[in-house]
Structure 1
Amino acid sequence: MSQFEDFLMDSFEEVQAVEKKLEIGGKKRNMTFKALGANKADAIRKSCRKIKFIKGQKIVETDQDKYLETLIVETTTCPDLKNAELQSNWGVMGAVELLQAMKSKMTDGEYGEWSSVVSEINGYDKGMQELIEEAKN
C-alpha cells in the first residue's frame, strides 16, 4: 500500500464503544464509553477557555475542571448523563450538574478512576514507559 493510500478515508477505523466495569458509589457498574474525535475535543477545549487581559496582554487559560467534566459527559455513553429522566431522579438539570451530583456520592478514588478511564479512551494515557518503548523502535 502506498503512503497515499494509507490516508484514504476508508483506511480510517470508526471509533468503537468500550465497555468497562467501574466501582461507582460503592458498587461495580457496567459503563460504556466512546472516544471523541479531535474536532469535538477542540470545541470542548475552546468552550472551557477564559480570556483575561492583564496589563494590555491577552492571556488565555483553560478551566481544567470544566474541561474534564465536559470530557467525561461527552465520552460516557452509559449512563447517559444527558438523559432528562436520570437528571430528574437526581434532582438536577443538565449533564454536568448530574455528574457533579453523582460525584458527591463517590469517593475521590472512584471519580479519579472514572476520569482516568475517560482519559485512556481518548488517548491521553500514554505513559512514560510506552513513550520510551516507541522511541526505541
Structure 2
Amino acid sequence: MSNLSAFMHANVEQIENYKFAASPRFKGEDGKPMLWEICCISADEYARIRNSCIRQVPVPGKKGQYTQQLDSYAFQAKVCARCTVFPDLSNAELQNDWGVAKPEELLGKLLIGGEFDDYVTEVFQLNGFKTENELVDEAKN
C-alpha cells in the first residue's frame, strides 16, 4: 500500500509568491523600480481561463464548418492578470486612470511590448512551465 499522506493538502509544499521589477519605468519613492508580485493558479483555473479564450472560427471554403482558435494574447493577458497580486489590477481608480475596465486590459496598457512578453515568461515559469531553452536542453539529453 502506498503512502498517500504526501498528497494531503497540508503536506504539499506551497509555492511562494514571486516579486520582480516588471518594468524600470515604474519607480517607487526611493527611485528604484517597483516590484510586482505574482502568484500561481491551479490547473483548473488555468483551464477555465484558456477555455474562455477559445473562439469558433469558420473554416474557409467549408460552409457551416467551424474550428476552434485560441486567442493567445487574450489568454496570456488573462492568466498574467489573474496571477498578479501587486499592483492590484482590479483597482477601479487605477483602471479609470488608464481608461480600461478589466484587469487584463490594464496590464496591456501598463506594459510595453517587450515588458509584456518578459512578464508572460515570468508568470508562466512560476506556474511550472519550462522556458524554450529548458525544453531544448531536455531534448538534447
Q: Give the TM-score range, shorter chain.
A: 0.7 to 0.9
Q: Does residue 1:93 correspond to 2:101, yes or no?
A: yes
SS at match of 1:23: coil
1-structure distance, mates of 2:47, 2:82: 13
SS at match of 2:101: coil
Q: Does residue 1:131 correspond to 2:135, yes or no?
A: no
Q: Does residue 1:79 correspond to 2:84, yes or no?
A: no
Counterpart of 1:10, as a letter, is: A
Counterpart of 2:107, as a letter, is: L
Counterpart of 1:7, as a letter, is: F
Q: Contact (CA 8 Å) 1:24, 1:110: kept in 2 or not?
A: no
Residue equivalent to 2:30: none
Q: Contact (CA 8 Å) 1:87, 1:94: kept in 2 or not?
A: yes
User: Offset at 1:53?
Assistant: 4.5
Q: 1:94 to 1:63 in 2, by over 3 A?
A: same
Q: TM-score, normalised by structure 1?
A: 0.79
Superposition RMSD in Å = 2.5
2-structure distance, mates of 1:57, 1:12: 45
Counterpart of 1:35, as a letter, is: C
Q: 1:3 to 1:40 in 2, by over 3 A?
A: same
1:43-122 equivalence runs, <5 A: 43-54=48-59, 55=62, 56-103=64-111, 106=112, 108-122=113-127
Higher relative contact order (CA 8 A, sep 6+): 1
1-structure distance, mates of 2:6, 2:77: 35
Q: Contact (CA 8 Å) 1:73, 1:95: kept in 2 or not?
A: yes
Q: Which runs of 5 or more residues in structure 1 are unaligned?
A: none
2-structure distance, mates of 1:52, 1:111: 27
User: Offset at 1:132?
Assistant: 4.9
Q: TM-score, normalised by structure 2?
A: 0.77
Counterpart of 1:18, as a letter, is: Y
Residue equivalent to 1:14: 14
Q: Which runs of 5 or more residues in structure 2 are unaligned?
A: 28-32
Q: 1:93 to 1:58 in 2, by over 3 A?
A: closer
Q: Contact (CA 8 Å) 1:35, 1:121: kept in 2 or not?
A: yes
